[in-house]
Amino acid sequence: MARRLYEEWFVHFRFPGHEGVEFDGELPKGWSAVELGDLVQVNPRTTVPRDGLKPFVPMGSLSETSMIVEGVEQRDGNSGAKFQNADTLVARITPCLENGKTGFVDFLDVDQPVAFGSTEFIVLRPLILGPCAIYCLARSHSFRDVAIKSMSGAEGRQRVRPESVQTFPIAQPPSELLDRFERIASPMFSRVSLLARQNANLRAQRDLLLPKLVSGEIDVSAAEEALEAAE
């Protein structure tokens, strides 16, 4: 829903009140033609301590269809992409980019506010665009198409250069509209994260209980008798 809303407002310009807005060329009046680097921090500098175990996100933790980052590991060192909550991770290597591997960082806590991951991530951090808008942009076909066309390197190991992402052409909406989008989309993102955590807990309980049920370690005969009596 958030991605569709982003496209309606910021790609097709069907935002609230658009009916009465005049256009200056291809853009609504009050909007500016800029580059992504003007609105988003691309691979911002983030300090991650070298010593001690820290959250590490391998490429396999990014989904091709979901914002959720799963399978976070604990590793020593700090070599790789570095990020914090509200950042968006985009795979920059083929075929992961073409397949849509993108994730939204929202799993870090106050004890470990930064993490690191694969060297093949591009990190996008809010500057003027908010975190929800950045993620939706990174999932858009226009962004992915431009990134794919800019890939270079040996066949089978082509990568996107961060410079090509920074120069991605984008329209800058008024700040009030960006703020309104974040107010609508942020609860959606929070709901997705909550449901993902609940599903993970349910899977863990299933994996713990199922072997015991199959082996007979847990006796459910009394529960079956109670259910039959209730019926």
| Alpha carbons 141 and 156: distance in angstroms, whole number | 22
Is omega for the bond preceding 95 within 30 degrees of 0, making it cis? yes
The DSSP line for 129-169 is S-HHHHHHHHTSHHHHHHHHHT-BSSTT--B--HHHHHT-E
Q: Which residues contact 5 (CB under 8 A, 6 or more apart)?
A: 181, 184, 185
128-142 per-position pLDDT tens digit: 999 999 999 999 999
State the pLDDT at residue 191. 95
| Alpha carbons 166 and 1: distance in angstroms, whole number | 26
State the pLDDT at residue 231. 66
189 DSSP assignment = H
| Alpha carbons 30 and 223: distance in angstroms, whole number | 66
State the pLDDT at residue 116. 97
Superfamily of domain covering 2-183: DNA methylase specificity domains (3.90.220.20)
Residues of the chain with pLDDT under 70: 155-156, 220, 222-227, 230-231
Helix 2-10 to helix 131-138 angle (10° resolution) is 90
The pTM (predicted TM-score) of the whole model is 0.87
Angle subtended at Cα 107 by Cα 102 and Cα 113, rounded to the nearest 5 degrees: 110
State the pLDDT at residue 210. 84
The 10 Å Cβ neighbour count of residue 36 is 22
3-19 per-position pLDDT tens digit: 999 999 999 999 999 99
CB 178 within 8 A of CB 133: yes
State the pLDDT at residue 172. 96
State the pLDDT at residue 213. 78
